[in-house]
Chains A and B, each alone.
Chain A
Amino acid sequence: MLFNSVQFALFLPIAFLCYWGITQIRPKAQNLFLIGASYLFYAWWDWRFLGLIAFSTVVDYVVGQRIYVHLDDRRRAKAWLMLSVMANLGLLGFFKYYNFFVDSFVDGLQALGYTPESSYTLNIILPVGISFYTFQTLSYSFDIYYRRLKPTTNFVAFAAFVSFFPQLVAGPIERASNLLHQIERSRKFHYTQAADGLKLILWGLFKKLVIADSLAPMVDDIFAHYGTYPSSTLILGVVMFSFQVYGDFSGYSDIAIGTAKLFGIELMSNFRFPHFSRNVAEYWQRWHVSLSTWFRHYVYIPLGGSRVSKRRAVFNIAVVFLVSGLWHGANWTFVFWGGFHALLFIPVFLLKRNRIYMESVIGQNSFLPSVKEIGQVLLTFGLVTFSRIFFRSPTLTDAFGYIQGIFTDVRIAAYTHPVGYRMIDYYVLMLLFVVYEYRIRKNERNPFHFKSPVVRFVLYVLVIFAMLLFYDDGVNRSFIYFQF
């Protein structure tokens, strides 16, 4: 069930009313209801993979208890932790990476002059959300192992934590220490929280339906035929992809956070206007925050983080980015993308500028950004956007072909929409989007933060009106991050 589908538009109000209705009669049934709703939500896509979620739930529930029992015996605790790691990463490895590693191995053999007689790849579907919920359950085991959390004895709450439908298939990847205790407690309805949730859902839908979906046909066209387009079009294509992927994923996250609010649960922010970042380090504090946080806590810090020698710290950073790249997809393009970001991040780290923008946003104390800030933002956006050529291209050959096109066929030519729509509409749309995002840049959780109710109402109407204006029923409405 997609967030942007009519099925979800029917499912959500029904689930919402039943949930709070049940709360009034029997508050303890909240979590049971959430599990039922979440499993239904997931089964709508493919019921066969519900077993994987249940398996992950049972394994980590049991492992969590065992780790806690053996906390004073680090060797045994570690063994139990490894069981959780192997079970979750085993699932992920089989469904997501098996074919990739086999193909890569075969390619390696072929490079050495040996050609295997048969193919060992399997025809398997990647279960939606597996990269997200396996990481989330892993965080539970890790947090217990690192003594940040006590294991829950409430299996129902734990199952609801693992399968909580708003963030089940594409995050935010919540740490157990943030989400589980909210689920263990009984929730009460708060008007402001629910209203804020609806606003976030509306803004998320706008980003998905208007920004991401309307740019998608052009991005697809340009990346599919990059060999025939001049440099100006190729640059336009990857810039549009930057807008698309941001609109798509941050839109999804907003809907997830907003939906969770409707059920009385606060999820962490996943996007904090990353394209207004002044360097790559700030970008990673603002883009897919839940994943960055996960990698920081469970990979970077255990490796030693920055409290080691410079050389070792640089190695740790490189590992995190390469693994993060591989997490996105079983393809060398993602590994390259991760490696490219490591190369961008390491100089910032060595110059000790990786934490300087943690507490501020562009134009922190002024209406407009300074010229310096504009330059920094454009440079960061340019570098991040350039890296997305690897992210979007199906193969490394295509990615390098695309880059070659940018630097060899240097021409400026007007681009025509593949269906023939007016291009000016999209340029104006992107510009207005940037201006509005700048206006709300200090609070990603309240995109309609205006005092006047009239202004807010006008904005709601305009946002929905834009959805009508840019709706295209020919577009694939799935979310990009579902494939991860």
Chain B
Amino acid sequence: MKKFVLKSVVYLGLILLALELLVRAFHLHADDPPKMIDEFGVEKRVPGSKGHYVKGNRRQHFTHFSINGSGFNSYREFEPSEDKYEVALVGDSFIEGFHQDYDNSLGKKIEDRLPKVEVFEYGYTGATMAYQMHLVDAYRDRFDKIDKVILYMKFRNDFDSRKHRADYELVRMLKTLPFRIRENCKLWVYGSNYGMTLPIKNIAGAIWKGLNFIRGRDHGDVAVPEMGVSSVTERIDNFKKLIATYGWHTEKTILLLDSRVTDGRFLDFCDENGIRYLDFSEVFQNAKAPVTLVYDKHWNDYGRELIAEVIADYLQKEVKP
């Protein structure tokens, strides 16, 4: 019996080690460049990080990323100047674009169409409108030199807060030993990406909760305060508050959105207040092929081509760089 248990444990350890090696050898796991918060309170990636992003558990979608000196995924450095025509593309994971090769990004596609334009992609996963407007405000010196600012928004997700608050706690937690170990155990990273570790986490959570209950630290379920906002009016109010806090450069700033998933009342608000927006819904509607990836809802190469076309047309017609 003892021999059996001992041998099982040894085998389990060796098997896990072999699996870790296999996951690393075939690079099945996605890299996640470390996060940081700079002196302006802007969350971004640690400059200089390079790696691969993987989707599909048999490496069915494999891309490269490269974090530039400013802390964003881009093939170019962001060095705005007075004499060149520069566009800042600000947004969430769609703009950060780990799902695409960094040298085949939306910004690069715009530049390919407009050779005199430089596009700076300030993308950060999970960035809300508060984050985006905070970033533009925090980097005012740079953005003053930038000619056009395009903010990518999704109405349902991006207007939940009235002010940006950098998540220092998260960044601190990610630097702790358990998280660093987790990040370096590629087998775990791989398992996490495909939901394999979720049941383990759920059970661990339930055990933890049970232990706290026994210790008297937890007396059952506590109502979790509602974090998100549900009403359209509340979201629009949040946007007004953001504008009041960070300002809005009507000539320079434009929203990039899909009107199919944006409430009409928000669009009315923009129209009434001179807030311009670039709507790519029509080109997506008429697309001849899928515009998103197979494994998630990020834009695929074709989707990015279509949006680049919309933005380039706009820049060509409206601004004539």
Contacts and interface: CB of A to CB of B under 8 A. Distances in A.
A198 interface: yes
A71 B147 CA distance: 100
Interface stretch (B56-64, B84-92, B248-256, B304-312): B56-64
B58 A469 contact: yes
Given A20-B1, A191-B4, A465-B19, A421 B198 contact: no
A462 to B, nearest CB: 9
B18 interface: yes
A457 B13 CA distance: 12
B294 interface: yes
A457 B17 CA distance: 12
B60 A468 contact: no
B294 to A, nearest CB: 3
A472 B199 CA distance: 13
Nearest to A461: B18
Nearest to B22: A465
Contact of A468 (B11, B57, B199, B200): B57
Interface string A46-69: 000000000000000000000000
A10 interface: yes
Interface residues of B, number: 30
B194 interface: yes
Given A457-B14, A461-B22, A470 B4 contact: no
Given A198-B8, A460-B11, A468-B190, A421 B60 contact: yes
Q: What is the interface of chain B mostly: helix, strand, loop, or mixed? A: helix
Given A419-B294, A461-B19, A465-B22, A191 B3 contact: yes
A17 B7 CA distance: 15
A5 B199 contact: yes
Contacts of A457: 11, 14-15, 18
Nearest to A458: B18
A421 B56 contact: yes
Nearest to B14: A457
Contacts of B194: 471-473
Nearest to B200: A6
A473 B198 contact: yes
A15 interface: no
A426 to B, nearest CB: 11
A425 interface: yes
A17 B58 CA distance: 36
Contacts of A425: 58
Interface centre among A189, A468, A473 (most CB of B within 10 A): A468
Contacts of B222: none
Contacts of A323: none
B319 interface: no
Contacts of B203: 6-7, 10
Nearest to B7: A195
Interface string B1-31: 1011101100100110011001100001000
A12 to B, nearest CB: 12
B195 A473 contact: yes
Interface in A71-86: none
B196 interface: yes
Interface residues of A, number: 27
Contacts of A191: 1, 3-4
Contacts of A473: 194-196, 198
Contact of A420 (B8, B18, B202, B294): B294
Contacts of B3: 191
A471 B11 contact: no
Contact of A471 (B4, B18, B23, B196): B196
Contacts of A26: none
A265 interface: no
Contacts of B23: 468
B5 to A, nearest CB: 8
Nearest to A473: B195
Interface string A348-359: 000000000000
Interface in B156-203: 190-191, 194-196, 198-200, 202-203
A472 B57 CA distance: 8
A383 interface: no
Contacts of B202: 6
Contacts of B5: 17
A374 to B, nearest CB: 31
A75 B203 CA distance: 56
A419 B23 CA distance: 23
A469 B5 CA distance: 28
Contacts of B198: 473
A157 B27 CA distance: 52
Contacts of A480: none
Interface in B43-66: 56-58, 60
23 contacts: A6-B203, A7-B199, A20-B1, A189-B1, A189-B4, A191-B3, A195-B7, A420-B295, A422-B58, A425-B58, A457-B11, A460-B11, A460-B15, A464-B19, A465-B19, A468-B28, A468-B57, A468-B196, A469-B57, A470-B57, A471-B57, A472-B194, A473-B198
Interface of B: 1, 3-5, 7-8, 11, 14-15, 18-19, 22-23, 28, 56-58, 60, 190-191, 194-196, 198-200, 202-203, 294-295
Which 10 residue pairs of A and B lie closest in terms of their CB atoms, listed nearest first?
A: A473-B195, A420-B294, A6-B199, A461-B18, A189-B1, A469-B58, A194-B4, A191-B4, A465-B22, A471-B196
